[in-house]
Amino acid sequence: MSENIFNQTSKNLKKKMRQEFADTMLEVGMKDENLVVLIGDISHFVLQPFAKACPNRFYNIGICEQTITNMAAGLSKVGFYPVIHTINPFIVERSFEQLKLDFGYQKLGINIITVGSAFDYGALGSTHHCYGDFALLKTIENMQIIYPASCEEFNTLFKQTYANGFPTFFRIPEAQHQMDLGNITFGKGVLVREGKNVTIIAIGPQLKTAIEAANMLAKDNISAEIIYLHTIRPFDKELVNKSINKTKKCIVIEEHGKYGGVFDDVLRESKDIMNVKYRSINIGDKFIHKYGTYKQHCERLGFTPENICDKIKKELL
Amino acid sequence: MKTNGDLRYAIANTVYSAGEGHIPSAYSIIDIINVIYGKFLNINKNDVTNKDRDYFILSKGHGAVAYYVVLEKYGFITKEDLMTKSKENAILGGHPDCTKVPGVEASTGSLGHGAVTALGIALGLKIKQQKNKVITIIGDGESNEGSIWESALVAANLKLGNLCYVIDNNKSTEQILPMTDMAKKWESFGWEVYEIDGHDEEEILKTFQKIDFSYVGKPKLIIANTIKGKGVSFIEGHGPWHHKVPSDEELQAIKEELL
Instruction: For residue range A29-48, list pLDDT tens digits in order.
Output: 999 999 999 999 999 999 99
Cis ω on the peptide bond leading into residue A49 (within 30° of 0)? Answer: no
Numbers of helices and strands, H then E, in chain A: 13, 12
pLDDT at A9 over 60: no
Please judge whether A70 and B99 are an interchain contact, meaning their C-beta atoms are less than 8 angstroms apart: no
User: Is the Cβ of B111 closer than 8 Å to some Cβ of chain A?
Assistant: no
Q: Find the mean pLDDT for residues B116-140.
A: 98
C-alpha B223, offset from chain centre: 12
Give me the residue spans of the domains in chain B: 5-228+235-240+248-258
In contact, A108 and A67? CB cutoff 8 Å: no
* Kind plus residue range of the DSSP H or E element containing A269: helix A262-269
Instruction: Indicate if the pLDDT at residue B117 is higher than 70.
Output: yes
Do residues B15 and B21 touch, judged by C-beta distance below 8 A? yes
Q: Touching check for A16 and chain B: CB below 8 Å? A: no
SS in 3 state form for chain B? CCCCHHHHHHHHHHHHHHCCCCHHHHHCCHHHHHHHHHHHCCCCCCCCCCCCCCEEEECCHHHHHHHHHHHHHCCCCCHHHHHCCCCCCCCCCCCCCCCCCCCCCCCCCCCCCHHHHHHHHHHHHHHCCCCCCEEEEEECCHHHCHHHHHHHHHHHHCCECCEEEEEEECCCCCCCCCCCCHHHHHHHCCCEEEEEECCCHHHHHHHHHHCCCCCECCCEEEEEECCCCCCCCCCCCCCHHHHCCCCHHHHHHHHHHHC
Q: Do A74 and B122 touch (CB under 8 A)?
A: yes
Give the tens place of pLDDT for each residue, A249-299. Answer: 999 999 999 999 999 999 999 999 999 999 999 999 999 999 999 999 999
Contact criterion met (CB below 8 Å) for A85 and A114 = yes
Query: Across chain A, where does the E strand assignment appear?
Result: 35-39, 58-60, 81-87, 110-115, 144-146, 167-171, 190-193, 198-202, 224-228, 231-233, 249-253, 277-281
Listed in order, the ranges of chain A carrying CATH 3.40.50.970 are 17-171
Which residues in chain A are classed under CATH 3.40.50.920?
Answer: 190-316
Q: Identify the residue among A56, A67, A102 best suited for mutation to test binding to B, counting B beta carbons within 10 A and taking the highest.
A: A67
Q: Which helix (H) or strand (E) holds A40?
A: none
pLDDT at A81 over 60: yes
Nearest to A133 by CA among A123, A150, A151, A120: A120
Name the amino acid, one letter, at A180: D
A282, A7, A146, B127: CA torsion to nearest 10: 140
- Annotation: CATH topology of A190-316: Rossmann fold (3.40.50)
A82 neighbourhood in chain B, CB within 8 Å: 120
Q: In the structure, what pLDDT confidence band is assigned to residue A1 with cuts at 50, 70 and 90?
A: very low
What's residue A3's pLDDT? 44
Q: Which CATH number describes the domain made up of A17-171?
A: 3.40.50.970
Q: Which one of A57, A74, A106 has the shortest CB-CB distance to B120?
A: A74
B1 in contact with A, Cβ within 8 Å: no
The identity of residue B93, as a single letter, is G
Measured CA to CA, the distance from residue A172 to residue A116 in angstroms comes to 7
CATH number of this structure's domain B5-228+235-240+248-258? 3.40.50.970
Q: Residues, chain B, total? A: 259
Three-class SS state of A255: coil
Cα–Cα distance, A145 to A76 (Å, whole number): 19
Residues of chain B with pLDDT > 90, as a percent, come to 96
Q: How far apart are CA B75 and CA B103, in angstroms?
A: 10
ipTM above 0.85, yes or no: yes
Least Cα separation, residue A160 to chain B (angstroms): 24
- What's the CA gap between B127 and A143, in Å, rounded? 27
Three-class DSSP category at A85: strand
Q: Above 70 in pLDDT, residue A7? A: no
**pLDDT value of residue B198:** 98
Q: Give CA–CA dist A266/A252, Å, rounded.
A: 8
Q: Residues A88, A133: contact at Cβ < 8 Å?
A: yes
A62 → closest Cβ in B116, B146, B153: B153
Which of B179, B108, B109, B175 shows the shortest CA–CA distance to B140? B179
Residue B28 CA to its chain's centroid (Å): 9
- Give the model confidence (pLDDT) of B145-188 as tens digits: 999 999 999 999 999 999 999 999 999 998 899 999 999 999 99
Q: What share of chain A is helix, strand, coil (3-state, %, to 5)?
A: 40, 20, 40
A63 → chain B, closest CA residue: B150
DSSP code at position A118: B
Q: Distance of CA A125 to CAs A232, A286, A288, B148, B254, Å?
A: 26, 13, 8, 30, 60
Find the mean pLDDT for residues B66-84: 98
Q: For residues A176 and A151, is the Cβ–Cβ distance under 8 A?
A: yes
Q: Which of residues 121-140 of B touch A (CB under 8 A)?
A: 121-125, 127-128
B36 — phi, psi (to 5°)? Answer: -60, -45
**Residues of B in Cβ contact (< 8 Å) with A105:** 99, 107
pTM over 0.90? The answer is: yes
